[in-house]
Structure 1
Amino acid sequence: MLQIKLFAYLQEMLAADEISVAVTEQTLTAAKIKQLIEQFYPKIASYLPNTRLAVDQVFINDDQTIDLTEKHEFALIPPVSGG
């Protein structure tokens, strides 16, 4: 089970600071993790193409592979703007 922290409007939309996603594989790409999030949380599916997955506080590309046998901190970060 992956625990994924949420930020900004994703937090507000799901009324949660963190979500859980069940996984059966030991190695997944960031894109696959986003697909699983989409299945479990369809309410935010349309926002996922514009979000970044961070692993251990580092953004990763969708094609990067994550070894789930190790403990990691996951976060889903939507785009932000400043002024």
Structure 2
Amino acid sequence: MSIYRFRFKHQDGEVANEECYEFVDLAAALDEAKRVLGEIAGDGLPSGPDETIAVELLNVGGTAIARVGLTLAIDFLSA
């Protein structure tokens, strides 16, 4: 089992969660980060081009080790 924390980046800014969570492995922690990102996206996608909402996975010491995110891209297509 491994212990991780999360940091959330969204339209309202950045929020670090001081609570620690225990997961079987890194893959399980990333699965939870993806689930939480889906909840954040349900509150609204990034507001402008190249903006990102993300969930960062931190080790117990607070160092970011992975990020799961959604970035808004607008592409204009020629006819």
Please tell me whether Structure 1 or Structure 2 has the larger radius of gyration of its CA atoms: 2
Length-normalised TM-score, structure 1: 0.34
Length-normalised TM-score, structure 2: 0.35
Bigger fraction of residues in strand: 2
